[in-house]
Chain A
Amino acid sequence: MRGHRDLQRACLAAVACALVAALAPWEIVRLAAALPLTLFLPGYAIVAAAFGSRELAAPKRAMLSVALSLMTLALGAFVLNIFPFGLETASWAVLLPLVVIAACRGAALRRERPQRGRDARPALPRPVAGSLVLGALAVAIALGALALAEKPLPAENAKGFTALWMLPTDEREDVVAIGVDSNQHDPHSYRLRVSLGKDQSKTYRVELDPGEERVYEVDVPPRPSGRTHVVASLYRAGKPQKLYRRVTSWLPRQMTFP
């Protein structure tokens, strides 16, 4: 590949992007490295191998680079699946640079002689300052639109609710976790009553802010035979007699269908 600077750069970029994407701890950095590695470089290398350096106009080359990268990803998954290790970070981080290097090698062999001297890329028109400002403003507004879309907003008329749940904490099933999860718009108070068989019960006062969850762990007393019927009942502070939510379990669970 000596002398073919674009191919050398593509190979180096592929290896560097793969290393950064696979090893960097920050998602944004990994994303920045993975995007060219997945969506551009494989296609660029394949186009170079197929067409040589001067046979294709830049817009078509760019489009084909992305399109062939997408095809490489789809077919690459199919290829990786054949191997026992399958699809994982490391296998993608190896496969994609391999595709780029192999295709660049093929491109270098097909090209008659190395590119030398001046870079013959077509000169892009110099942007006017006003256009740059307008373009930057457009990008900022578009990002604002996306940020607004991602932001959860108050939805006053949406019906809020509080969920109650109960699960054993481990396989022995001698302790249950009982959760009260508020998806209400305002703080609410509740009374949680947990009955363990016919004899025992525990009561908790629960105060929840919106989006807050409280989890209580309750020991289930062992029984010499049979199962303990555990019932968790939730009452709203304002309506203490009216059952609001109820969850139940027979522990240890039978694990067969009725």
Chain B
Amino acid sequence: MTHRHDGSSIDLERELVRYMVQQRLTRRELLERIGKVGAAVALAPVIAACTVGGASSAPSVPASSGASPGTASNAPEPSAAAQTPVPEPEAELFVYNWTGYIAEDTIPSFEAKYGVKVTYDFFANTDEAYAKLGDDGGGYDLSFPISVDIPALIAKGALLPLDMSLLPNIANLGAEWADPAYDPGNANSVPYMWWTTGVGYDSARITDPLTSSKALWDPRFDGHISMLDDWAEAFGMALIQLGFSANTANTAELDEALALLQLQKPLVRVYSTDTVGTMSSGDVWIGQIWGADTFAIQEENENVAFYLPEEGAIRGSDTMAIFSGAKHPIAAHLFIDHMLDAQVSAANTNYVYYMGPNAAAREFIDPAILDDPNTNPDQAIIAKLEELLDLGQAVRDEYLTRWQTLRGG
């Protein structure tokens, strides 16, 4: 909010009180937290709220003041919400997400904390959700779009720009997530989980040391290879293997990738995103899988190992975003803030086995997950990964027609 320019002590105190009330922290708890993570981290949200707003255009909080969202204003514009320390959340919240992509206690703890009743509906894949959410959320306040979709959603005006004053926990994000390419400054979305795509294989059946994605083209594994039923991932892996970018728009390169995939097809047992199923059943010995799924697969088949191909690999992420048609925007903000809480984020990671972008959460994450280089690779590796981008409809069509040619019986 734009009235905090000067970091004066009055502002600091007000922010501190607001922060404590929002977090339902007693003084004792705040001091404990400072003791645990240090004053800088514990008070970061407070301090952040006190400094000049800067890059984030002044989003106003709808509903309470009735102002329309998303208008960047230069002049300071106190809104009704700025006067009250904690805006009253609406009574309900409508969330759209995969079933089980959230720890079991996350929603109950949110409901208890804010007295908001959460209706949580389920989708089975992001493209279906994209169709259903439409241009304004399709009746839902909050959903979890993948990062690739965010630019288009923003351009369509489908997302509500975020009011950072309601998201003090956003400071918990790791520095590398503060300004993603798909949504500068996290102005419209907040990262939720991220993952890599690589190769999983049954080390009991395949004893060679594997380092390349070419292993998925090995005729020795005929009938026991799987690829993801996802055009971007399949083409991405082929393009990277050929030395091209996974986001290329060059049709000659795409043709080469198609040829490579067609070479592979007779060996492929199945194209499926249900990698946990295919790899734990034993039918598939080696497959293109998401790194974070390795943990889950290993619970079924402990021999499964994962590696990122030496040629390079893809990194993806998804986000939490509030839609422009949201009827409960304040509750939605508070929900995001809740998810950004270090412990809640860690609980989610511990349940779902995917890494979150939350630096503050790391101390609460199950060490087994933290130490698992597949779910949580170190920085050096991450730097080499390529992020999938929004290609635009024309380029996407080029990929898709080739994908359909590939899959055609």
Instruction: Determine if chain A interacts with chain B.
Output: no
Interface residues, chain B, CB within 8 Å of chain A? Answer: none
Interface residues, chain A, CB within 8 Å of chain B? Answer: none
